[in-house]
Chain A
Amino acid sequence: MTDKVKVLTLIVLIVSFFSYTLFLYKENYSSNAEYGTMADKGKKLWQEKNCNSCHQIYGLGGYLGPDLTNVYSQRSEAFIKVFLQTGTNIMPAFNLNEEQMNQLMAYFKSIDSTGIASPAKLKPNYDGTIER
């Protein structure tokens, strides 16, 4: 392989990569957690308390606790708040105040509205792809 072929291949790959990247950046799917809203503050709290080390959103995160993408529609707000207040035998109590609790609720509500995370709801096709 000559240097010319190598450089050309590299250029083709780089141009394709950045075109795809820019295309994806532009694709901001219909937004429901606007910046600065309660949901956004809840998201910040989620990161600050590192909830993700044990819980998952859309199956991504730690594995010690359950996926919480749809917890908002599966449980009541009151139930989730009590859980957060008391903790469990594994999860520590996070001592959140009422406002922080509400921010987290808004965050849960916003992710819940984006779709269903359970893989059981996806349909595998014979060609190896999946259908929602």
Chain B
Amino acid sequence: MELLKDKKPISHYFIVTGLILLFSTLSFGVIGALQYVYAGLFRENFSFEKIRPLHVSSAVFWILITACGAVIFYLGKVKDGIWSSKLAKWQWILFTISVVAILISYIMGIFGGREYWEFHPIFALPIVIAWILFLINVLKTVKVFRKQPVYVWMWLTGTIFFLFTYAESYLWLIPYFRSNIVHDMTIQWKSYGSMVGCWNMLIYGSSIYLMDKIAGSEKYSYSSIAFALYFLGLFNLMFNWGHHIYTLPAPKYIQYISYGVSMTELLLLGRIIYFWKSSVDTAKRHYHILSYRFLLAADLWIFLTLILAIAMSIPAINIYTHGTHITVAHTMGATIGINTFLLLSLVCNIFNVHQPKTEKNITLGLNISLIALPIFWISLIIAGVLKSDWQMHHFNDIPFSAMMQSLHPYFVVFLIAGILLTIGFFIIVGSLLAVFFKKQINA
């Protein structure tokens, strides 16, 4: 609580909590990868069923909490201050207490939830309350809904829909929804697919605000193309989730709707390729800006991830990638290459990082992660391709354990690249935390 007495904006506390969670994400990620390579490591007290949720929930909360911090900060800039800092403070307190309790419960082996939200459902309550506080704050701050730039629309829709999709992901608590596994999994992945779209709305909205600021013009945020792309994103958020469950014996129309909707993402891909050259030119012009470097890194990873995502959205290709490490490559490629790079770009801007030594260190960290991430990603894709070959052709003649053994060399590369990636991100996180705490000492 000592921290809260100093006069930093509340958004900074969200961000620092997020950065500490990124540290935890990476640490548990390395342990998980070690368990892939050294089978049975920590089997007695700290086996994979604890490490995976510690890693994945830390990642999810790093993204969510930092995204909230960025929205609170930028909305405050757009609207002359956030409606209630007190409400935001309560939101932060609720988030922080819940996340700490969740991570401790995992270490103690207490679960009860489902993938990505493995914690006992009781913890969902403070998270929902915190989100309602956030929603009230966002709505009250925006106040007037006419003639708003696209990022305000994105913040609003992301915040509102997140609440709905998060609540939807807990429908399994009601007997009707949990009574049939196929229906239950359909609703589960419907909610998860949309939920990711919601936090992307918060992050992309903030990134558009930042890009406008760097470019020194608000023209894009009010343009028709910006709104057309926003509605395309929202359309995909609502209807493209079916690619998670193509292999489930659910009704066929889910496959057709999702397949059709996902293909509209080709328009996004086309736009990225079309603007590729000009974005590189702009990048050169602004190369001295740290945030811009992260934005550029994310730009490249949006391109790579979208190609993989579109391919995986074609049912006939999905049956080869489903249930393999290609899916892990896709998830981590997106959460690291897009979400984490974009969030770090926002944090550099919000913390106003300009000291030459810090800039140098963060650039070094970014360069290390830019070398490590493709190796990390490709090793997962190769492991996935080999597993896919086994799933499709050798399921009955080669045992699972022998197949996993044959993937061992790729898991070693995954581990080494993962450690390198972790070193890169540790340098960045350490530098950003130092900026926060040093400023506090000066205050």
Contact = CB atoms under 8 A, between A and B. Distances in A.
On whether the two chains bind one another, the answer is yes
A49 B319 contact: no
Given A58-B185, A89-B40, 18 more contacts: A3-B147, A16-B239, A21-B168, A24-B186, A27-B183, A28-B176, A28-B177, A35-B178, A50-B49, A54-B52, A58-B248, A59-B322, A60-B115, A60-B323, A90-B43, A92-B44, A114-B181, A130-B316
A11 to B, nearest CB: 12
Interface size range of chain B in the complex: 35 or more
Interface in A71-124: 87, 89-92, 110-111, 114-115, 117-120, 122, 124
Contacts of A115: 182, 249
Contacts of A48: 111-112
Given A33-B181, A119-B323, A129-B316, A53 B118 contact: yes
Contacts, number: 181
5 contacts: A1-B224, A10-B231, A29-B183, A89-B40, A124-B316
A52 B322 contact: no
Interface of B: 35-36, 39-40, 43-44, 47-50, 52-53, 111-115, 118, 146-147, 153, 157, 168, 175-183, 185-187, 189-190, 224, 227-228, 231, 234-235, 238-239, 244-251, 254-257, 259, 314-320, 322-325, 328, 391-393, 395, 400
Contacts of B251: 27, 29
A57 B147 contact: no
A58 B256 CA distance: 19
A95 to B, nearest CB: 11
A45 to B, nearest CB: 10
B247 A17 contact: no
A49 to B, nearest CB: 7
Shortest 4 CB-CB distances between A and B: which pairs?
Answer: A59-B323, A124-B316, A35-B175, A115-B249
Interface in A1-30: 1, 3, 6, 9-10, 13, 16-17, 20-21, 24-25, 27-30
Contacts of A114: 180-182, 249
Q: What is the interface of chain B mostly: helix, strand, loop, or mixed?
A: helix
Nearest to A129: B315
B249 A30 contact: no
Contacts of B234: 10, 13
Contacts of B245: 58, 60
B256 A25 contact: no
A64 B42 CA distance: 15
Interface of A: 1, 3, 6, 9-10, 13, 16-17, 20-21, 24-25, 27-36, 40, 43-44, 47-54, 56-67, 87, 89-92, 110-111, 114-115, 117-120, 122, 124-125, 128-130, 132
Nearest to A113: B181
A122 B183 CA distance: 20
Given A6-B153, A50-B111, A52-B114, A63 B179 contact: no
A25 B251 CA distance: 13
B168 to A, nearest CB: 8
Contact of A130 (B53, B176, B235, B319): B319
A107 to B, nearest CB: 9
A47 B48 CA distance: 15
A52 B115 contact: yes
Nearest to A36: B175
Contact of B187 (A24, A59, A111): A24
Contact of A1 (B50, B183, B227, B239): B227
A81 B255 CA distance: 36
Contact of B146 (A3, A13, A49): A3
A56 B323 contact: yes
B40 A53 contact: no
A57 B185 contact: yes
B49 A51 contact: yes
Contact of B179 (A28, A62, A118, A124): A28
B392 A119 contact: yes
A125 B244 CA distance: 19
B244 A49 contact: no
B244 A60 contact: yes
Contacts of B246: 130
Contact of A120 (B36, B48, B178, B395): B395
B111 A28 contact: no
A128 B328 CA distance: 22
B391 A120 contact: yes
A32 B322 CA distance: 25
Contacts of B320: 119
A91 B190 CA distance: 30
A30 B250 CA distance: 11
